[in-house]
């Protein structure tokens, strides 16, 4: 008999480019894992910023390995949006399951989540007074 | 003397007295005669035929002449027991002159028996003391579990007086700290019922009571003159003599838990040593238990008061339309959570009833607090309830301007009865669209959609209007129902399709039955697994033509709802 | 409770109420009972002989497949509402006349058959008790908190489905450990109350009248702390079979479905919904098997199985599936000697063709 295992979530960094970051989310995104999702995605953003400077423009999330989702995923995505947009990062959702599409459409936030972020850092604009190595907390 | 001759055999063979005096070489008759142990020689019928000096002395102390009478009862009984075929004869034990002895027999010639009495008074006393100590420990353990098992002040007080009467006195009274000028008094007497009374008493009437009720500075237990106690301090119907009265404070957590008054028939004004310790432990435990119960009652009362506004309202029929709601919080020990609903009876000519059901992101008390806020805002916006979009925009603004990061999805419904049918204007703000159960068994999804509230600066909302014929129901529900995970295979979502299937069977059912059925099915689907908050609200056009299919001559609305829910 | 014991005038009323309930004519049902109450029909007889009688009949008619499940729900909903309305209509005992003390009436957590408990609450209220009716599906923590807050003389705990017995046991011991006496009632506890005794309830009553009479005699006050550990009540649980069957429930259902697939060609043509029904049926069998293990009574499981066979028979469904289901389960529970005995006994009873009166879901 298979022992019961709690639903699990993994966030994997697929590829890192100066202006784009690709993350793949696998497992369950539900009430028990949203905090972990938020933490890991923020970590990935912080680390990108630490390595590349505040130049990220596009965050791509690949959901093809997502096995389950509930409505609390919405909280996680809105929180992510709340952080990303002021930093000029646009969210892109790829291959999301039907249930996620349904939740986003039902709540009327689908377009809002993926709308273009305002331009904060034009490409090539590196501000010398902002030491990118340590600025990981914002 | 024939019997005396048998003694040497006995002395040599005796198994039970390792510290037997004198060795085998000593002349036997002298041996037992001078032994420091009392020795009796009995003949076959049990009469004492000879004793040594120690025995004579012992029995003289007891005021008994063993030569004339026969053996003490316990020894006579032992004497009559048949001698076992194998092994040593059985010894016996009993008391003589207030001392306890073990009597070791030895059969002699002609049916004589020689009894050596070995004193074990000290051992016996030690055993008795141990036994007493064990009993007290058991009683204290019993008392503790009885006292601490209930968090109800009344029951705790009952247990306290009953235990006090059982173990420390003939009757007992607990005087609780004053509530205003009145004190709650709890009485009992041995073998009697517990009685309660609340009275404005003067504590000064019992010496030491005032101080004990203040609890500080610590006051010792006091014996007072029975003549000094007022009538209210005596259990009703108590007729026993009062020899002494004891006033014992029951120490609480930082404040007095009450005072125990013990009435004893004995005029002796002191506890025995054992009682003293016992009484002190008892008072400490009773005081602690009463304090805990009082603390719990206060907390429960505060919680009840605070939660009252957050609890879902009890729904009923309004303006000829049935409303029923069931709310089940995510945690079984909680009563509130992130789901909510309200029904505001319509006023004015239109009598348009305003209904809201919603779901705040998150669970538990924190989410519940936001539901309270949303409900208040919506209540304030009632005059604008004709325009759902306007209401939602204002609510969104209010939530966006506050500092929390939570959002909510909700459905608004404006309900109006017109002749036989019910018209409902529905607007979903990012919430699952309501389901409409038609009389022909179809289940329709209301065509409304919109943005959730509290997350986006701008919102949109598309309203729809549905008409319910008699027996038709509009069900508003939260995703706790459809996201219930379980079923026979353990890991499936209940889902909208199963909900629709269930609703097909709810045609022409009362609103109450519809919500009960949906909650029951979701709950069975869960089968005890964890779940989110689950709310259901049914709006139903009653069957039976007229708007009042209720009781003939019924006064439903005016009758007080005196049954607790 | 059935029409055979109902005196003539009430028999007539029962028939009419039955007709109204089946017709989903709530207003007519309301008018019938209130008119009877106003005409001076004894309140208790109205509750227990008429309303409860009709509810009982609804269950019987459903089991015999003479009414649909939807009709059963709708009719039950109407008797429930009739009862609630009747209580309001009569309510002869305002608070100050409630001289007999305070009691709590509740259904065990997971128990949604509220009517028996509601009837009891009404009868006790009518007889002068101050009744706190907590309704159906009362979580044990709520019950305990309620007792702490209100200090009732006794808690009357209702359960209709035997599968609620483990939960009931937990509630009984929790309540007793805080010093309150518990009376158990409802079909779950057995027609003779054997499971109430097994789970150490302080009292048991077969119906509302008897419950009221037992309360009048007074229940022995429970000594808190004297309550044994819950597992002391049921020493047979040490074989772990109950626990293992419960924890493997999902796996058992999945494996049984797979086994049925392999052995029962008809299964392969089933729609998703039909497969789900079958899965639910297997889950139901596992649940009853588990509770039979809990109370260590093969008769409970046999009773359920033969009752199910009767239900299937009434619907012209061959019992072969049920047979096969038991066989498949036995195949998966080979290491469970007690379980295997239960399955064997039930299978033999099925073969003998006896029909049981049911595990008691009717009021």
pLDDT of residue B20: 39
Residues of B in contact with C46 (CB under 8 A): none
pLDDT of residue B312: 87
The answer to whether the Cβ–Cβ distance between B483 and A107 falls below 8 Å is no
* Fold adopted by A24-114: Transcription Regulator spoIIAA (3.30.750)
Residues of C in contact with B545 (CB under 8 A): 27
The answer to whether the Cβ–Cβ distance between B451 and A82 falls below 8 Å is no
Tell which of B361, B403, B411, B458 to mutate to test the A interface (max A CBs under 10 Å): B361
Name residue, tokens 């009166």. C357
Residues of B in contact with A82 (CB under 8 A): 405
**B430: nearest CB among A72, A79, A107:** A107
Architecture of the structural domain at C237-352: Orthogonal Bundle (1.10)
Selected from 1.20.58, 3.30.310, 3.30.450, 3.40.1000, the CATH number assigned to the domain covering B2-119 reads 3.30.450
Tokens read off for B358: 């919603």
Residues of C in contact with B506 (CB under 8 A): 70, 73
Q: Please check the confidence at residue C19 and state whether its pLDDT lies above 70.
A: yes
Name residue, tokens 């009972």. C33
Chain B residues 419-458 with a CB less than 8 Å from chain C: none
Neighbours of chain C (3+ CB pairs under 8 A): A, B
Q: What's chain C's length in residues? A: 363
Closest B-chain CA to C163: B527
- Residue B375's SS3 state is helix
DSSP state of C78: H
pLDDT of residue C354: 57
DSSP E strand boundaries for C96-216: 102-108, 130-138, 154-158, 181-185, 203-205
CA distance, residue A49 to nearest chain B CA (Å)? 24
CA distance B320 to A53: 65
Domain B322-540 CATH superfamily: PPM-type phosphatase domain (3.60.40.10)
Q: Please check the confidence at residue A135 and state whether its pLDDT lies above 50.
A: no
Is C258 an interface residue toward A (CB < 8 Å)? no
Q: Please check the confidence at residue C241 and state whether its pLDDT lies above 70.
A: yes
Q: Please check the confidence at residue C361 and state whether its pLDDT lies above 50.
A: no
Mean pLDDT of B401-412: 84
Which secondary structure element, helix H or strand E, spans residue B424, and what is its range?
A: strand B421-429
State which of B255-259, C216-220, C264-268 shows the largest mean pLDDT.
B255-259
Instruction: Give chain A's contact residues with C (Cβ, < 8 Å).
Output: 1-2
The answer to whether the Cβ–Cβ distance between C142 and B151 falls below 8 Å is no
**B146: nearest CB among C142, C225, C280:** C225
The answer to whether the Cβ–Cβ distance between B449 and A108 falls below 8 Å is yes
Neighbours of chain B (3+ CB pairs under 8 A): A, C
Positive or negative CA dihedral for C30, C31, C33, C37? positive
Closest B-chain CA to A7: B491
What's the pLDDT band for A119 if we cut at 50, 70, 90?
confident
Are C173 and C222 contacting, i.e. CB atoms less than 8 angstroms apart?
no
Q: Please check the confidence at residue B102 and state whether its pLDDT lies above 80.
A: yes
Burial of B545 (0-12, 13-18, 19+ CB in 10 A): exposed
Mean pLDDT of A87-105: 93
CA distance B452 to A107: 5
pLDDT of residue C242: 94
The answer to whether the Cβ–Cβ distance between A71 and B460 falls below 8 Å is no
Closest C-chain CA to A2: C251
**A106: nearest CB among B361, B430, B459:** B430
CA distance B452 to B232: 65
Are B199 and B181 contacting, i.e. CB atoms less than 8 angstroms apart?
no
- Residue C215's SS3 state is helix
- Parse chain C into domains and list their residue ranges: 3-90, 95-232, 237-352
- Residue C97's SS3 state is helix
CA distance B420 to B422: 7
User: Chains A, C: CB contacts under 8 A, how many?
Assistant: 3
- Class of the domain covering B134-304: alpha beta
pLDDT in tens, C36-45: 988 888 888 8
For chain B, percent of residues with pLDDT exceeding 70: 86
CA distance A70 to A34: 10
Mean pLDDT of B481-501: 92
Residues of C in contact with B491 (CB under 8 A): 250
Domain B134-304 in the same topology as domain B2-119: yes
CA distance, residue B506 to nearest chain C CA (Å)? 7
CA distance, residue B489 to nearest chain C CA (Å)? 5
Secondary structure percentages of chain C, helix, strand, coil, to 5: 65, 10, 25
CA distance, residue A67 to nearest chain C CA (Å)? 19
Other residues' Cβ atoms within 10 Å of the Cβ of residue C148: 20
- Class of the domain covering C95-232: alpha beta
* Fold adopted by C3-90: 1.10.1240
Region of residue A27 (left: phi > 0; alpha: psi -120 to 50; beta: else): left
CA distance B460 to B475: 23
The answer to whether the Cβ–Cβ distance between B151 and C148 falls below 8 Å is yes
Q: What is the pTM of this model?
A: 0.77
Is C248 an interface residue toward A (CB < 8 Å)? yes
pLDDT in tens, C83-118: 888 877 765 555 556 678 899 999 999 898 888 999
CA distance, residue A69 to nearest chain B CA (Å)? 10
Chain B residues 357-396 with a CB less than 8 Å from chain A: 359, 361-363
Q: Phi and psi (nearest 5°) for C280? A: -65, -40
**C149: nearest CB among B152, B490, B563:** B152
pLDDT of residue C7: 53
pLDDT in tens, B300-358: 888 888 888 888 888 988 988 999 999 998 876 677 889 999 999 987 777 899 999 99
CA distance, residue A89 to nearest chain C CA (Å)? 44
Tokens read off for C322: 């049920």
Task: Name which of C167, C114, C107 is nearest C290 in CA terms.
Answer: C167
CA distance, residue A107 to nearest chain B CA (Å)? 3
CA distance B120 to B185: 50
Range in A44-58, B157-171, C159-173 the model is least confident about: B157-171
Tokens read off for C96: 């100050």
Range in A16-20, B415-419, C221-225, C248-252 the model is least confident about: C221-225
Other residues' Cβ atoms within 10 Å of the Cβ of residue A112: 21
- Parse chain A into domains and list their residue ranges: 24-114
**B455: nearest CB among A105, A106, A109:** A109
Tell which of B488, B500, B531 to mutate to test the C interface (max C CBs under 10 Å): B488
How far is it between the farthest Cα atoms of chain A? 60
What are the DSSP calls for C67-130, one per residue?
A: S-HHHHHHHHHHHHHHHHHHHHHH----GGG-TT-EEEEEEETT----HHHHHHHHHHHHTT-E
Q: What is the ipTM of this complex?
A: 0.86
Are B519 and C84 contacting, i.e. CB atoms less than 8 angstroms apart?
no
pLDDT of residue B38: 85
Mean pLDDT of B528-544: 89
Residues of B in contact with A107 (CB under 8 A): 409, 430-431, 451-452
CA distance, residue C252 to nearest chain A CA (Å)? 9
The answer to whether the Cβ–Cβ distance between A2 and C248 falls below 8 Å is no
Chain B residues 541-560 with a CB less than 8 Å from chain C: 542-546, 549-554, 556, 559
Mean pLDDT of B204-229: 82
The answer to whether the Cβ–Cβ distance between C248 and A1 falls below 8 Å is yes
Choice between C21 and A131, residue whose per-residue pLDDT is larger: C21
CA distance B469 to B545: 10
Are C195 and C159 contacting, i.e. CB atoms less than 8 angstroms apart?
no
The answer to whether the Cβ–Cβ distance between A70 and B532 falls below 8 Å is yes
User: Chains B, C: CB contacts under 8 A, how many?
Assistant: 154
- Parse chain B into domains and list their residue ranges: 2-119, 134-304, 322-540
Neighbours of chain A (3+ CB pairs under 8 A): B, C
What are the DSSP calls for A44-90, one per residue?
A: HHHHHHHHH-S---EEEEEEEEEEEE-THHHHHHHHHHHHHGGGTPE
Closest B-chain CA to C285: B488
Average pLDDT in chain C: 86
pLDDT of residue B266: 78
Q: Where are the alpha helices (DSSP H) in B419-468?
A: none
Chain B residues 215-244 with a CB less than 8 Å from chain C: none
Choice between B81 and B234, residue whose per-residue pLDDT is larger: B234
Name residue, tokens 């239960």. C342
Tell which of B362, B392, B456, B497 to mutate to test the A interface (max A CBs under 10 Å): B456
Name residue, tokens 């309200």. B342
For chain C, percent of residues with pLDDT exceeding 70: 89
CA distance, residue B454 to nearest chain A CA (Å)? 11
B300 Cα distance to chain centroid:
14
CA distance, residue C78 to nearest chain B CA (Å)? 8
The answer to whether the Cβ–Cβ distance between C88 and B554 falls below 8 Å is yes
Is B452 an interface residue toward A (CB < 8 Å)? yes
The answer to whether the Cβ–Cβ distance between A107 and B460 falls below 8 Å is no
């Amino acid at each position: 008999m298979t022992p019961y295992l709690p639903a699990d979530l993994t966030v994997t960094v697929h590829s890192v480019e100066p202006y784009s970051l690709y993350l793949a989310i696998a497992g369950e995104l539900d009430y028990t894992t949203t905090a972990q999702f938020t933490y890991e995605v923020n970590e990935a953003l912080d680390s990108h910023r630490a390595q590349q400077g505040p130049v990220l423009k596009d965050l791509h999330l690949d959901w093809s390995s997502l096995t389950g989702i509930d409505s609390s995923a919405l909280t996680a995505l809105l929180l992510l949006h709340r952080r990303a947009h002021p930093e000029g990062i646009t969210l892109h959702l790829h291959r999301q399951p039907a249930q996620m599409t349904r939740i986003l459409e039902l709540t009327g936030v689908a377009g809002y989540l993926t709308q273009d972020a305002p331009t904060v850092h034009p490409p090539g604009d590196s501000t010398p007074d902002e030491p990118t190595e340590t600025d990981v907390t914002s | 003397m024939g019997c005396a001759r048998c003694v040497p055999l006995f002395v040599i063979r005796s198994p039970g007295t390792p510290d037997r005096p004198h060795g085998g070489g000593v002349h036997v008759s002298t041996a037992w005669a001078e032994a420091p142990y009392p020795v009796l020689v009995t003949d076959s019928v049990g009469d004492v035929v000879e004793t040594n000096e120690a025995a004579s002395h012992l029995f003289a102390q007891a005021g008994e002449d063993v030569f004339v009478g026969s053996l003490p009862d316990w020894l006579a009984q032992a004497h009559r027991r048949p001698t076992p075929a194998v092994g040593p004869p059985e010894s016996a034990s009993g008391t003589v002159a207030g001392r306890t002895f073990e009597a070791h027999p030895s059969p002699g010639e002609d049916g004589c028996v020689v009894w050596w009495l070995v004193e074990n008074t000290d051992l016996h006393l030690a055993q008795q003391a141990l036994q007493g100590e064990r009993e007290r420990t058991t009683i204290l353990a019993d008392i503790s579990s009885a006292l601490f098992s209930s968090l109800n002040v009344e029951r705790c007080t009952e247990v306290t007086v009953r235990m006090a009467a059982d173990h420390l006195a003939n009757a007992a009274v607990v005087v609780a700290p004053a509530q205003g000028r009145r004190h709650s008094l709890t009485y009992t007497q041995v073998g009697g019922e517990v009685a309660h009374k609340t009275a404005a008493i003067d504590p000064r009437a019992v010496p030491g009571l005032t101080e004990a009720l203040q609890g500080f500075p610590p006051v010792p237990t006091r014996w007072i003159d029975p003549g000094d106690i007022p009538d209210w301090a005596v259990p009703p119907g108590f007729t026993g003599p009062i020899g002494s009265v004891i006033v014992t404070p029951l120490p609480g957590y930082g404040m007095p838990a009450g005072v125990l008054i013990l009435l004893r028939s004995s005029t002796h004004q002191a506890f025995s040593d054992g009682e003293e310790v016992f009484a002190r432990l008892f008072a400490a435990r009773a005081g602690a238990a009463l304090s805990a119960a009082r603390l719990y009652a206060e907390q429960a009362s505060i919680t009840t008061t605070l939660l009252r506004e957050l609890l879902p309202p009890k729904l009923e029929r309004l303006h000829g339309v049935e409303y029923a709601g069931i709310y089940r919080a995510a945690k079984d020990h909680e009563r509130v959570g992130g789901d909510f609903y309200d029904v505001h009876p319509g006023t004015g000519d239109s009598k348009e009833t305003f209904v809201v059901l919603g779901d705040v992101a998150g669970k538990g008390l924190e989410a519940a607090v936001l539901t309270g806020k949303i409900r208040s805002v919506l209540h304030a916006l009632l005059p604008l309830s004709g325009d759902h979009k306007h209401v939602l925009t204002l609510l969104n603004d209010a939530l966006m301007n506050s500092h929390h990061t939570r959002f909510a999805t909700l459905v608004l419904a404006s309900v109006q009865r017109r002749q036989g049918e019910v018209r409902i204007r529905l607007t979903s703000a990012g919430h699952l669209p309501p389901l409409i159960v038609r009389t022909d068994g179809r289940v329709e999804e209301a065509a409304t959609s919109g943005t959730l509230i509290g997350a986006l600066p701008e919102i949109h909302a598309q309203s729809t209007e549905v008409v319910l014929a008699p027996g038709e129901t509009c069900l508003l529900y939260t995703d706790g129902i459809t996201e219930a995970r379980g079923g026979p295979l353990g890991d499936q979502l209940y889902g909208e399709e199963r909900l629709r299937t269930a609703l097909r069977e709810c045609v022409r059912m009362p609103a109450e039955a519809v919500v009960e059925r949906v909650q029951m099915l979701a709950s069975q689907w869960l089968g005890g697994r964890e779940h989110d908050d689950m709310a259901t609200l049914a709006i139903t056009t009653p069957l039976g033509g007229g708007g009042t299919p209720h009781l003939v001559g019924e006064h439903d609305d005016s009758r007080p709802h005196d049954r607790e829910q | 409770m059935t029409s055979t014991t109902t005196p003539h005038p009430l028999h007539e009323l029962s028939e009419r109420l039955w007709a109204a309930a089946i017709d989903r004519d709530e207003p007519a049902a309301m008018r019938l009972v209130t008119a009877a109450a106003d005409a001076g029909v004894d309140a208790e007889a109205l509750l227990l002989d008429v309303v409860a009688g009709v509810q009982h009949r609804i269950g019987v008619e459903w089991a015999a497949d003479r009414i649909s499940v939807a009709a059963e729900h709708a009719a039950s909903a109407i008797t429930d509402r009739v009862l609630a309305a009747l209580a309001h209509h009569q309510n002869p005992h305002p608070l100050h006349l409630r001289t007999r003390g305070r009691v709590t009436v509740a259904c065990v957590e997971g128990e949604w058959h509220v009517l028996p408990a509601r009837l009891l609450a009404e009868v006790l209220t009518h007889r002068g008790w101050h009744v706190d009716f907590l309704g159906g599906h009362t979580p044990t923590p709520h019950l305990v908190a309620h007792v702490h807050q209100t200090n009732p003389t006794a808690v009357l705990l209702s359960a209709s489905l035997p599968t609620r017995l483990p939960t009931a046991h937990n509630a009984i011991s929790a309540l007793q450990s805080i010093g309150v006496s518990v009376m158990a009632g409802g079909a779950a506890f057995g027609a003779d109350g054997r499971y109430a005794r097994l789970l150490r309830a302080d009292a048991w009553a077969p119906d509302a009248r008897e419950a009221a009479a037992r309360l009048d005699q007074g229940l022995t006050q429970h000594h808190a702390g004297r309550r044994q550990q819950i597992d002391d009540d049921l020493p047979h649980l040490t074989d772990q079979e109950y626990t293992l069957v419960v924890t493997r429930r999902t796996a058992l259902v999945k494996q049984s479905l797979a086994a049925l697939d392999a052995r029962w060609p008809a299964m392969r043509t089933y729609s998703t919904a039909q497969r789900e029904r079958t899965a639910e049926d297997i889950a139901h069998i596992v649940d009853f098997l588990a509770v039979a293990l809990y109370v260590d009574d093969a008769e409970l499981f046999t009773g359920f199985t033969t009752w199910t066979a009767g239900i299937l028979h009434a619907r012209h469904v061959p019992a072969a599936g049920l047979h096969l289901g038991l066989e498949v389960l036995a195949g998966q529970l080979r290491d469970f000697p007690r379980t295997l005995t239960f399955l064997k006994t039930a299978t033999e009873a099925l073969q003998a063709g006896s029909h049981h009166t049911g595990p008691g879901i009717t009021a």
